[in-house]
Amino acid sequence: MREEKKRLRAAVRKRRALMSEKEKYDASKRLTQRILDVCRSYEAVALYYSVANEPSTHEAINLLYSQGKRVLLPHMTQMLPPQWAWFEGSDSLVSTHGGVHYPEGTPMQLPDVSVDIMIVPALLVNEKGVRLGQGGGWYDRSLARLTSHIPIYACVYEQEYIQEDIPMDVFDKRVDGVLCV
């Protein structure tokens, strides 16, 4: 299973690297609208701050925040246990050496902080809600810490929402929906 996941990750990363800047830009515009639509009735949103070739969430984060929503982002100073912090505007973001941005606010762990919906990155998702992430398990660990059910959505490019089976370990967490751009 580990080798199959590794092979799938490599194929998706290669395909993403070949996408044009226009394709990525157009997808980010569609994703922003999809995120705004799905978060319309929620007050507190946990969301990822996209990096590299992930579908971009930057504009959505800023727009949700400007609408008065509380936006929780990964706080990447310590990988385990997963920690989060509230976004307080673009000026509050700190950049790591790898280009990862996180809010400089007080790090918190789930479920110590409550959110209404969570939107996570993915490389692949199938119609059964099986999600293939980057391989570090950070989001699966975060999802495992939730003590009540909230809607969980994964973001992928259109060709990454598939019907085929995706290898699933016992610690992998399913998502409830897909924001496919």
pTM: 0.94
**Tens of pLDDT, residues 15-51:** 999 999 999 999 999 999 999 999 999 999 999 999 9
Yes or no: domain 2-180 corresponds to CATH 3.40.50.11900: no
Rounded to a whole number of angstroms, the distance between the first and last alpha carbons of the chain is 27
- Is the Cβ–Cβ distance between 4 and 167 less than 8 Å? yes
Q: Is 17:53 a contact under the CB 8 Å cutoff?
A: yes
At residue 127, the pLDDT reads 95
At 176 the pLDDT is 97
pLDDT averaged per 10 residues in sequence order, the chain, 181 residues? 94 97 96 98 97 95 98 84 94 85 91 93 97 92 90 97 95 95 95
Compute, in degrees rounded to 10, the torsion defined by CA atoms 64, 132, 17, 28. -20
Preceding peptide of 107 cis, ω within 30°: no
Long-range contacts of 106-112 (CB under 8 A, 24+ apart): 107/75, 107/77, 107/78, 107/83, 108/75, 108/83, 108/84, 109/81, 109/82, 109/83, 109/84, 109/145, 110/46, 110/82, 110/84, 110/142, 110/145, 110/146, 111/145, 111/146, 111/147, 111/148
Q: Is the peptide bond before 74 cis (omega within 30 degrees of 0)?
A: no
pLDDT computed for residue 100 by the predictor: 84
C-alpha 28: how far from chain center: 13
